[in-house]
């Protein structure tokens, strides 16, 4: 198996692996943020096909294979089957974009099921990341009212209270969060003993 090798490393490894009687079964290439190509692949030892035959028409190449096509393609292949996948890395999204995306997904879920507590918690977290602390507080109040054992809601609500300048409420929620996480830890210790 070849993992995340550079072009130079891959070239050296191809010669070494070929000399050892291995042929590639799968190769993947991707572009990193700095426009450097990286590779990974799986090589297999075979007695029938030597490395020197690759590139001389003995290896069967096919782009975009789907799983149902593989049996038929494999029977047509006179040599090794190589699935080559090349993709450029997408630009990383920032925290605000990610929070906006999460907010949209949570709102879609809540339109279908207004009582979905997981979506309310996700929306509250997105609101916190976007600086909409009061909106986050409204969702967190609803989550805690319906599921008081949800410790993460107390953590998020403590953050919202702190940002809104509610010092005493922030401390109270932080204590509830800490008690909840310590009881979860002791429950898991009890379960494992």
- pTM value is 0.52
Nearest C-alpha neighbor of 48 from the set 58, 38, 60, 57: 58
Q: Is residue 193 part of a domain?
A: no
pLDDT in tens, the chain (193 residues): 777 667 777 777 777 877 888 877 777 777 676 667 777 888 777 655 443 333 333 343 333 444 454 445 444 545 554 555 555 666 777 889 999 999 999 999 999 999 999 999 999 999 999 999 999 999 999 999 999 999 999 999 999 999 999 999 999 999 999 998 876 655 544 344 3
- Over its C-alpha atoms, the chain yields an Rg (Å, rounded) of 27
135 close to 160: Cβ distance less than 8 angstroms: no
Examine the domain organization and report whether 156 and 116 are in the same domain: yes
The CATH number of the domain holding residue 119 is 1.25.40.10
Examine the domain organization and report whether 141 and 80 are in the same domain: no
HSE at residue 60, side-chain half, CA atoms within 13 A, is 12
Examine the domain organization and report whether 53 and 72 are in the same domain: yes
Examine the domain organization and report whether 79 and 155 are in the same domain: no
Q: Is residue 192 part of a domain?
A: no
Cα 106 → chain centroid = 18
Examine the domain organization and report whether 66 and 107 are in the same domain: no
Q: How far is the C-alpha of 49 from the C-alpha of 20, rounded, in Å?
A: 11
Examine the domain organization and report whether 101 and 181 are in the same domain: yes
Domain extent for 164: 95-187
Nearest C-alpha neighbor of 31 from the set 82, 83, 84, 90: 90
**Total domains in the fold of the chain:** 2
């Amino acid at each position: 198996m070849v993992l995340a090798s550079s072009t130079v490393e891959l070239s050296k490894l191809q010669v070494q692996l070929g000399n050892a009687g291995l042929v590639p079964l799968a190769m993947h290439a991707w572009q990193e943020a700095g426009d450097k190509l990286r590779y990974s692949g799986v090589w297999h030892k075979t007695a029938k096909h030597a490395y020197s035959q690759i590139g001389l028409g003995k290896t069967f190449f096919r782009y975009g294979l789907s799983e149902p096509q593989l049996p038929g393609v494999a029977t047509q292949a006179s040599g090794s089957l190589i699935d080559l996948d090349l993709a450029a890395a997408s630009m990383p999204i920032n925290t605000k974009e990610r929070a906006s995306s999460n907010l949209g997904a949570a709102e879609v879920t809540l339109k279908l099921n207004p009582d979905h507590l997981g979506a309310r918690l996700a929306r509250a977290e997105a609101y916190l990341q976007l600086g909409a602390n009061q909106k986050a507080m409204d969702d967190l109040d609803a989550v805690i009212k319906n599921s008081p054992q949800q410790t993460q809601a107390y953590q998020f609500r403590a953050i919202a209270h702190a940002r809104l300048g509610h010092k005493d409420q922030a401390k109270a929620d932080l204590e509830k969060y800490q008690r909840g996480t310590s009881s979860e830890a002791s429950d898991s210790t009890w379960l494992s003993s």
